[in-house]
Amino acid sequence: MSDRMDVVGIGNAIVDLLSRVDDDFLVKHHLIKGAMTLIEVKQAVSLYEDMGPAIEVSGGSAANTIAGLAALGLATGFIGKVAQDQLGEVFAHDISSLGVEFNTVPSEDREHTARSFVLITPDSKRTMNTYLGASHALGPDDVEAEFIQRASIVYLEGYLWDPPGAKKAFLKAMKLAHAAGNRVALTLSDSFCVERYRAEFRDLIKNQVDILFANEAEIISLTEAKSFAGAVSLMESQAEYVVLTRSEKGSVILNRGQQVAVPACPTEIEDTTGAGDLYAAGFLAGLAKERTAAACGRMGAICAAEVISHLGGRPGTGLLRYLEERLGRVT
């Protein structure tokens, strides 16, 4: 066991079920294309019975980021709740096999490990329908002080701000991280999350968050600006790093009064699942190596390009080589 870790993530422990569908399937099941929608067991069963063949792979937004960081050779840990069932064992095995420290005790109170139906339409867009199950049993008791304090950065997933117990876990982790002189990173996760908790997220970013990740829709929702440019101007002094991704338009990084624009890395798009998660992995890997904001953004863009070039939200086994081959000269 390493005495020090680069990043510890806290988020939903989910097993993804990836399946290709047409737009008629989304219409039939009244699904919002491109959104992440929370569902209950009954709808989860209906989707599973009606969709075609699926690929099972451990997922979850923060867990995907941690998997990316581990693939890049960083020392990582993860905190997330599973149930005592088959998918819980799959998740624990998968993330541990990557070299990630994962010691969260399984829930005894929830029947099922969380699962997300990732439905991919012919235009490569993904529609996520997630049953959260045991992941919402996460609480402050799952956050061990020693585990958090060993991490240079604690990375938190906005999706998990819903349940009261998980919210307490996040606040505990933030306090422990800052008491140890470490950084806190937050990803807003989804514009629907922002709409529900706009005031709370604003307060967190102002007082608790050192590194913020958001996409264009999320940051416009957070600031209630009329444009992306307006949102940028409102976020310039809100955190040490404000990292804003814009899909094919690249990303914009705000850092101590400086603004850096980073182009997207060209690639053939197979599936956009995990693009933001792997961008965060590349960016945080750059920070761990004390790279400039521009270099961190370039690393994030390359890692995002790798994950969208194949099916699923986890990186391929050759992520580090992929990054090194495309990185070129960065400073």
pLDDT tens digit sequence for 130-154 = 898 899 999 999 999 999 999 999 9
What pLDDT score does 128 carry? 86
What pLDDT score does 104 carry? 96
pLDDT tier at 2 (50, 70, 90 boundaries)?
low
**What mean pLDDT is predicted for residues 75-99?**
94
Does residue 167 register a pLDDT over 70?
Answer: yes
Helix (H) / strand (E) containing 119: strand 114-120
What pLDDT score does 331 carry? 40
Alpha helix ranges (H) inside the chain:
23-28, 41-50, 61-71, 86-97, 145-149, 164-179, 191-196, 198-207, 216-223, 228-235, 275-288, 293-308, 319-327
What pLDDT score does 250 carry? 96
pLDDT over 90, % of the chain:
73
Structure tokens at 96: 């541990």
DSSP per residue, 257-293: TEEEEEPPPP---S--TTHHHHHHHHHHHHHHTT--H
Does residue 207 register a pLDDT over 60?
Answer: yes
Q: In one letter, which amino acid is 302?
A: I
Does residue 1 register a pLDDT over 80?
Answer: no
Backbone angles phi, psi at 319, to 5 degrees: -60, -45
Structure tokens at 278: 């792997």
Q: What domains are there in the chain, each with its CATH number?
A: 5-11+61-108+138-327 (3.40.1190.20)
